[in-house]
Structure 1
């Protein structure tokens, strides 16, 4: 009886292992980061050398607040590029590149994010309303839109608010070309944001 039970158990185990071997394998994900902007040899923006800034991770809706590379192929249909993702949630990817560009191109004494507990003179907060590819006239186009407010780091008073948006046509249709378009779009919108901060903070 015991031998028969063992045979049944072994047979079941063999069948289970066989079933596992024919299960479909998930495709590996390719992870991307935003291409960095060209290194600045000297600060492009100056006049705030004694000031510091915190860039907060922007709010985004639940679909954008993810690590998948978002695409709107037509109408209002939301989708993602299969087998590809960002190295972090899209708002974090956006924030990290913005902090990086502030550090590279300005004379600010210090620039950090909300996790660094920096007692800063200014705070940059906002909503990331677009970070996706849209098909415009059948052409894939990277779209980034950011509603931002600059506030006083001590009083919390809103100094100024602004809406920024940029588009960048994708040179092709493959994911690496999409990522390059996002990199170019990020460089452009970050330049506009930094220029705006220097204009309103310097008043």
Structure 2
């Protein structure tokens, strides 16, 4: 057996044993998972008199799907079988951002892109990672988001930044994996809140 073939077999056996992932099955997953309810302690001392629309993050496939993804190597995505997110990953992330921003009271009004009302600013973003990775025997939930705050009247970008969070899963069980995603999502959304609260503030 060639070294390349042996490495492939070893990787396949490891993933099948440790992660329970498989390559894009056709069966509809019966279990539907969601983030835990956010419990952010961030509260603004003063609410900005601005309304903010949160657009659903852009994401290319397979990140734009509702499958819970693993990336055991830099070259391959796999999915956790028999389970999916309640909606696509971008929608799940958008809803968490909306809820965290509302609870923070940074802006006077926060709406999502499903709301036809006008807003002063829009949070436009791109989801570039929403999967687990393997570091030795550790499983890390990884979320990466690039965000821009746009002035809706002028269409000018006011602020731009990238965010990356990793949270270790306590075990290979899907419940623990989803909890790691929940912690990572909350940490990232809190970073977005802090960043948005400081954007375009006048110098003291």
TM bin, normalised by shorter chain, reads 0.7 to 0.9
Q: TM-score, normalised by structure 2?
A: 0.81
Q: Name the residue aligned to 1:34.
A: 35
Output the CA distance in 2 between the equivalents of 1:169 and 1:151. Answer: 33
Aligned pair 1:99/2:98, yes or no?
Answer: yes
Number of residue pairs matched?
Answer: 176
1:162-202 deviations in Å (ceiling 9; x for gaps)? 11000000011111101100110011111111100011132
Aligned pair 1:157/2:140, yes or no?
Answer: no
State the 4+ residue runs in structure 1 displaced beyond 4 angstroms. Answer: none
Tell me: CA distance 1:46–1:201, structure 2 relative to 1, closer, same or farther (3 Å): farther
> Does the residue aligned with 1:130 lie in a helix, a strand or coil?
strand
User: How much has 1:118 moved relative to structure 2?
Assistant: 2.4
Output the CA distance in 1 between the equivalents of 2:181 and 2:40. Answer: 18
Output the CA distance in 2 between the equivalents of 1:174 and 1:56. Answer: 32
Listed as ranges, the matches of 1:16-165 within 5 Å are 29-38=30-39, 40=41, 44-165=43-164
1:91-117 deviations in Å (ceiling 9; x for gaps)? 000000110111112242211111202
Q: TM-score, normalised by structure 1?
A: 0.82
Unaligned stretches of 5+ residues in structure 2: 1-26
Tell me: CA distance 1:136–1:114, structure 2 relative to 1, closer, same or farther (3 Å): same
User: How much has 1:126 moved relative to structure 2?
Assistant: 1.1
Greater C-alpha radius of gyration: 1
Q: Going by fraction, where is helix more abundant, 1 or 2?
A: 1
Unaligned stretches of 5+ residues in structure 1: 1-25
> Does the residue aligned with 2:53 lie in a helix, a strand or coil?
strand
Output the CA distance in 2 between the equivalents of 1:154 and 1:50. Answer: 16
CA-atom RMSD in angstroms: 1.6
